[in-house]
Copies of this chain bind each other. A is one copy, B any other.
Amino acid sequence: MIKVSDPCELCATPGGEILWESPTCRVIRVDDPNYPGFCRVIWNAHTREMTDLEPAQQQHLMSVVFAAETVVRRLFAPDKINLASFGNMVPHLHWHVIPRWPDDKHFPEPIWGATQRQGSFSRRVVSHREWAAALNETLNMTEHQN
């Protein structure tokens, strides 16, 4: 049985290296060698569900998720994007933004599904600096600094 997090690790820690942050949410890097480009958008306050947010907050958070998707597509050129918000173990709103390739470890299963193959590691290498700059540029352009 996997232990459900208590106290909340997304309140206690950033949850990863921060690529971009605003007063309401942050984008962090997930360092999974099978999924370069995998990042999470984490709401800063300890909120459980999207429908516990006000409509303007929902819209803001999703606009950051979609900006993160735009940047991942541009920098890592995946075949497909997967988006997911679960929070079963850590019930603090966070979105997974996951680049997928037909030769990755789990394709076409979700990354939480059964392993399909070893997976290829010949992906483009993107530095933290380049990724952070692209996010900053995209989010500034779309005026999502609130």
Interface band, chain A: 35 or more
Check: A127 CB closer than 8 A to any chain B CB.
no
Q: A-side interface residues toward B, CB under 8 Å?
A: 1-2, 4, 48-51, 55, 58-59, 62-63, 66, 69-70, 73, 80-89, 91, 100, 107-110, 112-113, 116
When all copies of this chain in the complex are counted, the total is 2
Report whether A66 and B81 are in contact in the complex, using a CB–CB cutoff of 8 Å: no
Residues of B within 8 A of A66 (CB): 50-51, 58
Smallest Cβ distance from A37 to chain B, in angstroms?
A: 14
Pick the 3 closest A-B CB pairs, nearest first: A88-B108, A84-B84, A110-B112
Please measure, in the bound complex, the distance between the C-alpha atom of A116 and the C-alpha atom of B116, giving whole angstroms: 20
